[in-house]
């Protein structure tokens, strides 16, 4: 067993009976191997495991855990990644959800694949994140990280919004649309894909700008270097809503400035040996799948 992993934290999707069973099974698997097993406190409370194993906060996991195993779907992984990225804790994803672009180990293979990783048979990759802040009258009123995307849109309004887009201090255009998606390579297979954005390989140093239902037919997706400083200014008389990984949100007012840059933090993902990004896409997006017959 790899000496690099002594304390392993388990983080599961809340209020899920299937995840509760999986967390217990993996916790026992790890304990038999002589590892210290921690259960994230929200997970332990949600699935009723408090008292059976050590319970730890995200802060404690970030400071002391050698590995975090995430059980759930991509949403659970996104939330975990934002909370632990600053600590550099490597993450392993076991899919208990639907698509599972980030949680790439199937539930049926969880124990053998996790065993391989603990023995040091894995590949590691780093995923870029976005650092986003909202300024109002020159003062920061909101700041967070995003692994998938930052989306500014019309919220509950039944009309388009209007905003100015600038890149590295240079004005690019004024756009009327339902909004804009700013996606990392990881997020290029999420909401941006549904809006006809490009798929970016995780090793591409880029940020995709994908307009949402633009009023001009010539407004097309653009891929920027990830060194870019992106600024969107919401024009009067338009309010909007800004979403971060589809989980955190901020209600923006006319005149607010959304600034997005690549974060210095990265997410460390561990995959079993043999993991292939293109094989994952082929499976999740049903490339080369046999056509369904009526």
Q: Which residues are catalytic?
A: 74
Q: What is the largest distance, in Å, between two alpha-carbon atoms of the chain?
A: 62
Question: Are 61 and 68 a contacting pair, CB within 8 Å?
Answer: yes
Write the CA distances from 166 to 22, 182, 213, 225, integer angstroms. 47, 13, 19, 14
Closest CA to 3 of 87, 67, 58: 67
- Measured CA to CA in angstroms, residue 5 lies from 64, 91, 106 at distances of 11, 12, 21
Q: Any residues with CB less than 8 A from the CB of 235 and at least 6 apart, and which? A: 162, 163, 164, 174, 254
> Of 59, 64, 74, which is closest to residue 13 (Cα–Cα)?
74
CA-wise closest residue to 93 among 29, 199, 22, 33: 22
Q: Are 8 and 66 in contact (CB under 8 A)?
A: yes
In this structure, what token pair is assigned to residue 1? 């067993």
Report helix, strand or coil for 179: strand
């Amino acid at each position: 067993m790899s000496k690099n992993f002594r304390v392993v934290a388990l983080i599961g999707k809340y209020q899920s009976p299937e995840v509760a069973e999986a967390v217990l099974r993996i916790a026992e698997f790890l304990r038999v191997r002589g590892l210290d097993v921690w259960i994230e406190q929200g997970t332990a409370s949600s699935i009723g495991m408090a008292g059976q194993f050590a319970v730890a906060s995200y802060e404690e996991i970030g400071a002391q855990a050698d590995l975090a195993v995430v059980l759930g779907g991509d949403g659970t992984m996104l939330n975990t990644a934002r909370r632990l990225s600053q600590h550099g804790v490597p993450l392993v994803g076991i899919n208990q959800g639907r698509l599972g672009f980030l949680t790439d180990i199937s539930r049926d293979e969880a124990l053998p694949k996790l065993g391989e990783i603990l023995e040091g048979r894995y590949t590691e990759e780093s995923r870029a994140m976005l650092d986003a802040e909202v300024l109002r009258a020159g003062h920061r009123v909101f700041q967070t990280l995003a692994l998938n995307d930052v989306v500014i849109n019309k919220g509950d309004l039944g009309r388009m919004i209007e905003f100015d887009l600038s890149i590295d201090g240079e004005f690019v255009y004024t756009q009327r649309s339902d909004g804009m998606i700013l996606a990392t390579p990881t997020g290029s297979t999420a909401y941006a894909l549904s809006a006809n954005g490009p798929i970016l390989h995780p090793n591409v140093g880029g940020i995709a700008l994908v307009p949402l239902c633009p009023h001009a037919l010539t407004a097309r997706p653009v891929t920027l270097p990830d060194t870019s400083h992106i600024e969107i200014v919401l024009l009067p008389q338009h309010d909007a809503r800004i979403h971060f990984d589809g989980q955190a949100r901020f209600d923006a007012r006319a005149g607010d400035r959304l600034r997005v840059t690549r974060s210095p933090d990265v997410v460390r993902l561990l995959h079993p040996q043999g993991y292939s990004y293109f094989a994952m896409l082929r499976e999740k997006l049903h490339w080369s799948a046999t056509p369904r017959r009526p």
